[in-house]
Amino acid sequence: MKIAVLVSGRGSNLQALIKNLHGFDVEIVGVVSDNEDAPALKHARTADIPTASFAEASYDGREARDLAIADWLDENQAELVVLAGYMALLSDSFVARFRDRIINVHPSLLPAFPGTRAVEMAVAAGVKVFGVTVHLVDEGIDTGPILLQRAVELDGYSDPTEIHQILQKIEHELLPEGVRLMADGAVSRDPANPQRLIIER
Q: Which residues contact ligand GRF by CB under 6 A?
A: 9-13, 40, 84-85, 105-107, 168, 171
Q: Is 172 a catalytic residue?
A: no
Q: Are 183 and 80 in contact (CB under 8 A)?
A: yes
9 versus 50: smaller Cβ distance to ligand GRF: 9
Calculate Rg over the CA atoms of the chain: 16
Out of 43, 106, 135, 172, which one is annotated catalytic?
Answer: 106
Residue nearest to ligand GRF (CB): 85
Work out how close the CB of 25 gets to ligand GRF at its nearest, in angstroms, rounded to a whole number. 22
Q: How far is the CB of 191 from ligand GRF (least distance, A)?
A: 30
CB 58 to ligand GRF: min, Å: 22
166-172: long-range contacts, CB 8 A cutoff, minimum separation 24:
166/130, 167/107, 167/119, 167/130, 167/131, 167/132, 168/12, 168/13, 168/107, 170/131, 170/132, 171/12, 171/13, 171/16, 171/105, 171/107, 171/132, 172/12, 172/13, 172/15, 172/16
**Nearest C-alpha neighbor of 106 from the set 51, 66, 68, 146:** 146
As measured in angstroms, the least distance from the Cβ of 60 to ligand GRF is: 27
Of residues 11 and 29, the one with the C-beta less far from ligand GRF: 11
Residue placing its CB nearer to ligand GRF in the complex, 64 or 120:
120
Confirm if 139 and 95 have CB atoms less than 8 A apart. yes
Helix/strand number for the chain, H first, E second: 6, 9
Judged by beta carbon, residue 173 or residue 189, the one nearer ligand GRF is 173
Residues serving a catalytic function are 106
